[in-house]
């Protein structure tokens, strides 16, 4: 697991309470492009890849995304598996840094949609957690073609990227 900082390192939170959904994800300048670059680099145009967005509760209904967590995952063009060791490394990092994970972003070879496999094995499913699917192995500029889903009452609902992501 590789933690890529997007913002200055604020002191860890003492209170890591998740804000009430819906949550707006605020990224610093260049954060979307850095995320897309990491997904593209990991995909190499031929396989699925995954990163996580971690950060801290911010102003009003928003959170400040401070890190892209890039996980080492065995993958093919149609499937990605997150090893338990990578899950644990990501969780240890956010605990140590006083962060929360708010979204997983992963690539698909074609159109962006939440597949049955994605729905069955999400990285997170807490109320208000986001799953973001990036099309064409992240070949385009971010957030072109992204599909975003929000966990609510154990189900996934499509949401508008422009209403949930600032940056």
Domain annotation covers residue 91: no
> What domain range includes position 146?
2-7+22-74+96-160
Over range 78-107, report the average pLDDT.
Answer: 95
- Radius of gyration of the chain from its Cα atoms, rounded to whole angstroms: 14
| CATH number for the domain that contains residue 155 | 3.40.140.10
Q: How many residues does the chain have?
A: 167
More confident of the two residues 8 and 73: 73
- Residue 128 is assigned to a structural domain of this protein: yes
Flag whether 89 is in a domain.
no
Instruction: Give the model confidence (pLDDT) of 124-167 as tens digits.
Output: 989 999 999 999 999 999 999 999 999 999 999 999 999 999 98
Of 4, 92, 13, 124, nearest in space to 58 by CA? 13
**CA geometry: angle 97, 72, 111, nearest 5 deg:** 105
Residue 19, pLDDT score:
87
pTM > 0.85: yes
Kindly state whether residue 85 falls inside one of the protein's structural domains: no
SS3 142: coil
Q: For residue 83, give both structure tokens.
A: 């090893």
* Residues paired with residue 132 on neighbouring β-strands, in sequence order: 105, 148
* Residue of 160, 150, 162, 114 lying closest to 18 (CA atoms): 150
């Amino acid at each position: 697991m590789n933690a890529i900082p997007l913002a200055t390192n604020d002191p860890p939170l003492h209170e890591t309470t998740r804000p009430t959904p819906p949550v707006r994800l605020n990224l610093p300048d260049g954060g979307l492009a850095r995320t897309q670059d990491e997904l593209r680099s990991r995909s190499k145009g031929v396989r699925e890849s995954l990163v996580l967005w971690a950060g801290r509760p911010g102003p009003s209904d928003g959170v400040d995304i401070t890190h892209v967590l890039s996980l080492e995952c065995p993958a093919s063009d149609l499937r990605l598996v997150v090893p338990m060791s990578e899950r644990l490394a990501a969780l240890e990092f956010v605990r140590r840094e006083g962060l929360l994970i708010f979204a997983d972003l992963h690539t698909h070879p074609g159109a962006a949609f939440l597949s049955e496999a994605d729905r069955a094995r999400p990285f997170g499913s807490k109320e208000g957690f986001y799953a973001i699917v990036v099309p064409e192995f992240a070949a385009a500029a971010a957030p072109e073609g992204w599909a975003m889903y929000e966990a609510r009452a154990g189900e996934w609902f499509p949401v508008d990227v422009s209403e949930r992501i600032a940056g």
